[in-house]
Structure 1
Amino acid sequence: MTTYRRLGRSGLHLFPLGLGTMQFGWSADEAASQTILDRYHEVGGNFIDTADIYTMWTKGNPGGISEEIIGRWMKDRGNRDDLVVATKVRGAMGEFGVEGRGSIKQREGLSRRWIMKACEDSLRRLQTDHIDLYQVHWVDNQTPIEETLSALTDLVRRGYVRYIGCSNYSAWRLMQALWTSDRRNLESFVSIQPEYSLLSPTRANFERELQRVCVEYGLGVVPWSPLGGGLLTGKYRRGQPMPDSVRAGEAGKRLTEHNDAIIGTLDTVAQRHGAKPAQVALAWLLQTPAMTAPIVGANSVAQLDDLLGTLTLNLTPDDVKEIDTASDWERARTEQER
């Protein structure tokens, strides 16, 4: 039986693997997306993560497509109360000049004006009356944190949002937000969504500072790209042809000797357990401090089922030590500097 994890000190309890939906309307069409959602819900999955901008970098996608797909699915299935729906605000929405004189610069950021409008739009696309976890996607240097937190607090008090979180914040930015919430009696972030995996470029920063803040102040961690952009699945290897994938080009650039060694270690541990490298990488994450639920993506039910196998995998202390040794970023940096 799957044990749900409390998100920090909030009242939300999450399935140990969140379902990321950036691929909905991009590499997975609506039919495939709804099939994936059905399977995730069937096995007890309740944490669905999206963002208003998903997926604007796709031709013909003005943003909001992922939210719309999720909204139609929830309405059709009548399962809204089973779910923890998380979305984000910050990125630019729509094409330049859309909606009369409003430029794209007025349709982004973390100002009160845009947060209120963006939340209304997300609620409409999701066809729901509330968002369980409303996250600021990244920092807005043009808007005081007091203004952002005040607007988010109003959304909570009006019932449109249950809890607030942040994504892609540094430790000092997170501490600034927590201090402001405390000083001004405003709603406080209950979680953070950083990029975090065995291969994350920002892993050192997370483990040195951000993770400690989360442990000390009781924030949940729901990382994006927990499989290193697909590298930790084992399907990308040095000296081998790249598979046909939208991420193959970027993955190839990251196949360094050090990263290849980490993938090799995951192979070794996986073989001992009759598991797959991706499952080992996710199981390693699930045992780290403050971790609530890594957010995974899938383009098919078969891919999702592979990842769900993580939940029956129990790494031993020796497994964890072996992975930690192979992925030691301090040692790797020292060797590069020699």
Structure 2
Amino acid sequence: MPRKKKNRQKIIISTKIAGGYKDWFSPPVRNGKTFLNIEQIKKAFFDSLKRLKTDYIDIYTLHWDDSSSSFDDIIGELNQLIKNGYLRYIAISNFKQNRIFQFLNKFNETNENNSFITIQNPFSLLRPGDMKSLSEVLAKNNCPYFAYSPIEGGVLTGKYLKDNLSNTPRRYDYHKKSNDQREVEIYKRAVLSKKNCMAVKDLVEKTPSYLQPHALSLAWVLKNDFVTSALISVNSKNQFYELHKSLDLKLDKELLLLCKSIYSRFITN
């Protein structure tokens, strides 16, 4: 059991290991390798301990799947880290639906530590797919769900619309200016697609004047029963305060109908 530092229990440290999703990411550590095998998990985990200057990690997230690796090996190695006191909880992020089912089933078969904490996936008015495909499975497995990108990197604020250009920092400007064509395609899908533009325009125009569209968007995400929490980032205090209102916002019939008119465009049968 590693030595615990004074007051360490008062904070929660969460970090991730990148899987090899379509060669999308080449990490500056691990010699650019993103396999989720025993060797790479050990290296990534203990390197993180050193960089974070801590004795243990509270939440360790498998970020992107690696279909070439065995869930038996992955879960076995993570369980060993938990047994040895280096890790408390496991999470997964950006796994496809069938792989989430497989992971949960394998985890339930081998679970010795009751250590699975959450699934982290993108979920918003523009990406509502998990509402249909995962909610029942999450409830059955008593599995928490953290929604990330609930306002789609600022797209749902309306600040990317041509008639509402803003000087505030914009996440997708990074993708737009990238030399990597894959990054540019992300920008085009999120910001320039006709479907997204029309949906955001309707949301901005129809949101009541007492409310900001991104606050409504976040409130809708949080009102879904299967959503445990939402992961957000802000670039100003004002934006934080606006989003904080979502916690107490009651969605009446008209607001729910407005949200449904947006997200229903993105649900496939």
Aligned to 2:154: 230
Partner Cα separation in structure 2 for residue 171 and residue 328 of structure 1: 20
Aligned to 2:141: 217
**Percent of residue pairs bearing the same amino acid type:** 29
**TM superposition score normalised by structure 1:** 0.64
Q: CA deviation at 1:137?
A: 0.5
CA contact (8 A) 2:125 2:262 kept: no
2:254 aligned with 1:310 = no
Relative to structure 1, is the Cα distance of residues 172 and 81 closer, same or farther in structure 2, using a 3 angstrom cutoff?
same
**TM superposition score normalised by structure 2:** 0.78
Relative contact order (C-alpha < 8 Å, sep 6+): which is higher? 1
2:222 aligned with 1:296 = no
CA contact (8 A) 1:85 1:132 kept: yes
Aligned to 2:28: 94
Pairing 1:120-139 to 2, within 5 Å after superposition:
120-139=46-65
Aligned to 1:247: 172
Relative to structure 1, is the Cα distance of residues 104 and 280 closer, same or farther in structure 2, using a 3 angstrom cutoff?
same
Q: CA deviation at 1:124?
A: 2.3
Q: CA deviation at 1:134?
A: 1.0
CA contact (8 A) 1:226 1:294 kept: yes
Relative to structure 1, is the Cα distance of residues 225 and 326 closer, same or farther in structure 2, using a 3 angstrom cutoff?
closer
| Residues 34-61 of structure 1, C-alpha deviations (whole Å, 9 max, x = no match) | xxxxxxxxxxxxxxxxxxxxxxxxxxxx
2:82 aligned with 1:189 = no
Aligned to 2:179: none
Relative to structure 1, is the Cα distance of residues 240 and 270 closer, same or farther in structure 2, using a 3 angstrom cutoff?
closer
Aligned to 2:218: 282
Relative to structure 1, is the Cα distance of residues 120 and 155 closer, same or farther in structure 2, using a 3 angstrom cutoff?
same
Partner Cα separation in structure 2 for residue 218 and residue 121 of structure 1: 32
What is the alpha-carbon root mean square deviation over aligned residues?
A: 2.9
CA contact (8 A) 1:262 1:323 kept: no
Aligned to 1:262: 199
Partner Cα separation in structure 1 for residue 225 and residue 203 of structure 2: 20
Partner Cα separation in structure 2 for residue 197 and residue 93 of structure 1: 28
| Residues 164-187 of structure 1, C-alpha deviations (whole Å, 9 max, x = no match) | 110011221111112212323455
| Residues 254-304 of structure 1, C-alpha deviations (whole Å, 9 max, x = no match) | 3444433433454356425x2211111100000112101111112344433
CA contact (8 A) 1:231 1:251 kept: no
Q: CA deviation at 1:133?
A: 1.4
2:135 aligned with 1:198 = no
For structure 1, list consecutive stretches of 5 or more residues without a partner in the other structure: 1-74, 96-101
Partner Cα separation in structure 2 for residue 144 and residue 211 of structure 1: 25
Code of the residue aligned with 1:87 in structure 2: it is T
Partner Cα separation in structure 2 for residue 330 and residue 259 of structure 1: 9
